[in-house]
Structure 1
Amino acid sequence: MDIVDETLREWRSGVFVYGQSDCMLSIGRYLARTGHDDVTGQFLGRYDTHEGAAAEIKAHGGIAGLMALAGAVAKDAHPARGDVVEVVYSGEQETCGIGGLCTGDGVALRLDRGTIEVALRFITYRGVWHGSR
């Protein structure tokens, strides 16, 4: 069992709570455990809705800005197990992104309805960052 498996077990057994254990903070904790700067304390308890999380992401330059804040290094290659991936999806009025964890052939996403894994071939992504420092 590696850090990816441990992280997924944690995500699946825990409760999703905005501002405490949501997708942004879950990726932040994963990055901290893999040697990146722990920036989660800046966000804990600052919001309690999807809209609040989205506002924090936007205020910090999107997923790429949050990744830079944690000291994660972008890569110009196909995602590999343990990398963080920004998965693109269509929001109500714009294209949005959510941070996911590459599991090898797929990407795990922590959502308010649970943790899901989607095969890489079915997603569109616009950023990949090395999962360990």
Structure 2
Amino acid sequence: MDLVDETLREWRSGALVYGQSDCMLSIGRYLARAGHKDVTGLFVGRYDTREGALAMMAEHGGVPGLVAMTGAVPKCGAPARGDVLEVLYQDEDGVTGIGGICTGDAVALRLERGTIEVALRFVRYAGVWHVGD
């Protein structure tokens, strides 16, 4: 079992709570466990709704800005297992980005309804950051 498996097990064992265990904080904790700077303390408890999370992300440059705060390095090319991706999706507010973890041929996302994995061929992503050695 590697860090990806351990992280997904944790995500699946608990609920998403905005400001405590939401997608932004979950990716931040994953990056910290992988050896990057832990910036989650700057955000825990500062919001408690989806709107608050989106505002906090916007204030810090979205997924790219938040990942950059940890020191993770952007990567060109296809994502590999363990890399973090900014997955794009359409909602009522337009196109939004969410952080996910590449599981190999899929990306895992922590959502309100639970943790899901979607085949990479079905997602649009805007950025990839190398995680690991």
Same fold at TM > 0.5: yes
| CA deviation after TM superposition for structure 1 residue 42, in Å | 0.2
Amino acid at match of 2:75: K
C-alpha distance in 2 between matches for 1:117 and 1:89? 14
The equivalent of 1:50 in structure 2 is 50
SS at the partner of 1:95?
Answer: strand
Superposed CA deviations along residues 78-117 of structure 1, whole A, max 9, x for unmatched, are 0000000000001213210000000000000000110000
Q: TM-score, normalised by structure 1?
A: 0.98
The equivalent of 2:5 in structure 1 is 5
Q: How many residues of Structure 1 are paired with residues of Structure 2 in the alignment?
A: 133
Q: Percent identity?
A: 71
Do the aligned residues in 2 keep the contact of 1:36 with 1:132 (CA within 8 Å)?
Answer: no
Amino acid at match of 2:40: T
C-alpha distance in 2 between matches for 1:62 and 1:44? 16
Question: Does 2:15 match 1:23?
Answer: no
The equivalent of 1:36 in structure 2 is 36
Amino acid at match of 2:127: G
Q: TM-score, normalised by structure 2?
A: 0.98
C-alpha distance in 1 between matches for 2:15 and 2:123? 25
| CA deviation after TM superposition for structure 1 residue 15, in Å | 1.6
What does residue range 90-129 of structure 1 map to in structure 2 within 5 Å? Answer: 90-129=90-129
Superposed CA deviations along residues 22-59 of structure 1, whole A, max 9, x for unmatched, are 00000000000001000000000000000000000000
C-alpha distance in 2 between matches for 1:26 and 1:17? 10
| Residue ranges of structure 1 left out of the alignment (5+ in a row) | none
The equivalent of 1:87 in structure 2 is 87
| Residue ranges of structure 2 left out of the alignment (5+ in a row) | none
SS at the partner of 2:26?
Answer: helix
| CA deviation after TM superposition for structure 1 residue 4, in Å | 0.3
C-alpha distance in 2 between matches for 1:5 and 1:130? 17
